[in-house]
Amino acid sequence: MDDDKFYVPNRLEIKPGAFYFVAKCPITKKILAIERDPDRGSNPYSHADTLVSCHHCQGRHRFETSDIIPCQASEGDDW
């Protein structure tokens, strides 16, 4: 895989109060957690091209940096 691409193969364990970079599944419109955000939303997502294995629709989706935003998890979130 190229250096400017990033692959997310598994579902993350979501912890309430933690920050994550997320995107929306284009099929189900549900939120996908891509990775933890150690900077708590203060810096943008840094991978140029991200391929995600989606646990909502069981497909794979490619996201650009502009599609991925920081978000803080709440109790009961099912990302």
Report pLDDT for 12. 86
Domain positions in the chain are: 5-72
Taking only Cα atoms into account, the Rg of the chain, rounded to an integer number of angstroms, comes to 12
Q: What is the pLDDT of residues 13-64, one digit of tens each?
A: 899 999 999 999 999 999 999 999 999 999 999 888 899 889 889 899 999 9
Instruction: DSSP letter for 65, please.
Output: G
Residue whose entry in the numeric block shows the structure tokens 């994550």: 20
pLDDT for 4 beyond 60? no
Angle ∠(12,15,18) on CA atoms, nearest 5: 100
Q: Are 30 and 65 in contact (CB under 8 A)?
A: no
Q: Residue 7's pLDDT band (boundaries 50, 70, 90)?
A: low
Write the CB contacts of 40 (distance below 8 Å, at least 6 apart in sequence).
19, 70, 72
Torsion angle of C-alpha atoms 12, 65, 28, 15, degrees rounded to 10? 30
Q: Is residue 11 predicted with pLDDT exceeding 60?
A: yes
